[in-house]
Copies of this chain bind each other. A is one copy, B any other.
Amino acid sequence: MIFTKEEYLRRVRKTKEMMDHLGMEMLLVMDPANMNYLTGYDGWSFYVHQGVIVFLNRENPIWFGREQDSNGARLTSWLPDDCICGYPDKYVQSRYTHTMRWVAGLLRENQADNRRFGLEMDGYWFNAKMYITLKEELPHAQLMDGTNLVNWVRVVKSPAEIEYMRQASRICEKVMQTAIDEIDVGVWEKDVAANVCAAQIAGTEAFGGSSPAIFPIMPSAERTSTAHLTFEPDRQYQKNDAVLLELCGARYRYHAPLSRTVYLGDPPEDLCQTADGVVKGLQETLSFVRPGVTAEAVEARWREAIAHTGVVKPSRVGYSYGLNYVPDWGEHTISLRPGDKTILSPGMTLHFMPGIWLDAYGFECSEPILVTDKGCEKFIEFPQQLFVK
């Protein structure tokens, strides 16, 4: 157990308070990060249907999953044995039946098939067929939208969580340094990516890392003109390549993301100007972040700071992050963009991420930050610049 039982119980209680506030009696939590957050459960079993059901009127949640994974729940969660329910293998990825029929049976056995029942409607893990099947199986339940309910409980981190995020940050520094040290003309992209992946897991002398929720994003050359492309397996870096690095460290699934940009050769003037404008805008914006300001105000401050540079950034400039599994280290709560009214509070953790993708190439320089009592603090001290080699 990487947190105290008290911490897990506090998380469950906060979840119940939010459920009660919304008039919800039960919540089906299928997001693996939310399952982990509430129970400690940690396994790569989320490719089959599994979940945690939180009941307002029961002390402990119930974990359910594939029978062969239930020992994993016994080993990694704080839940007592009678709260761990495995289902038979015939429900796994079947075209003949559906796991939600089994879940509905479980609820009927527990006289819980007629409740106001929250579902993570807009997450990755609660799909349309699950909804349709539950609706059919539970005609007396009132199905409600519980999207991101636990994600919002997660948004303010505890001191213990922040400590793991600091450890992840130490790993991330090593990961980024590995990439910057190794990228060079003639080096295979795959070899740098391999060493980056190794650094993520090897961690530091003191502790190991965990699998990242986003695989290293490290496009080169024309592939830097867009977001989210990874390395090219059969290409060597060439002179005049720009390389974007969107990397992370992770510790017990808690992340520390960081972006930087490398240029091999003499960088073009407009890339240098973009870099300069972005870095200054980043610094000005971070000095503005403090409790009480809204997410959209932070974005507006950024936009103001770069207005004179001609750089335009139509996508959000940051988001809340922390505990997660694939496919995203973002938390799906706060976005730094126009219209997001979230008021920042101490303990929130944001990835301020001004990525710019121009026609020919891009520039990224980001910072993971912690909102503190008076302002914000960077998790990572890493030079904010275009790395020219």
Contact = CB atoms under 8 A, between A and B. Distances in A.
A229 interface: yes
B337 A90 contact: yes
A302 B72 CA distance: 26
A75 interface: yes
A259 to B, nearest CB: 13
Contacts of A198: 194-195, 197-198
B126 A127 contact: yes
Interface in A298-340: 314-316, 319, 325-328, 330, 332, 335, 337-339
A303 to B, nearest CB: 13
Contacts of A337: 89-90
Nearest to A341: B96
Interface stretch (A4-12, A103-111, A220-228): A220-228
Interface string A49-62: 00000000000000
Nearest to A342: B95
Given A69-B226, A96-B339, A315-B92, A194 B188 contact: no
Contacts of A125: 124
Interface string A269-284: 0000000000000000
A80 interface: no
A190 B330 CA distance: 25
A30 to B, nearest CB: 10
Contact of A68 (B88, B200, B226): B226
B127 A47 contact: no
B202 A316 contact: no
Contact of A128 (B130, B148, B227): B130
Nearest to A96: B339
A98 interface: yes
Contacts of A315: 66-68, 89, 92
Nearest to A72: B226
A72 B191 contact: no
B68 A227 contact: yes
A123 interface: yes
A147 to B, nearest CB: 7
A93 B330 contact: yes
B124 A129 contact: no
A193 B188 contact: no
A47 B98 contact: no
9 contacts: A43-B227, A71-B226, A76-B229, A89-B314, A92-B335, A119-B128, A124-B127, A197-B198, A233-B251
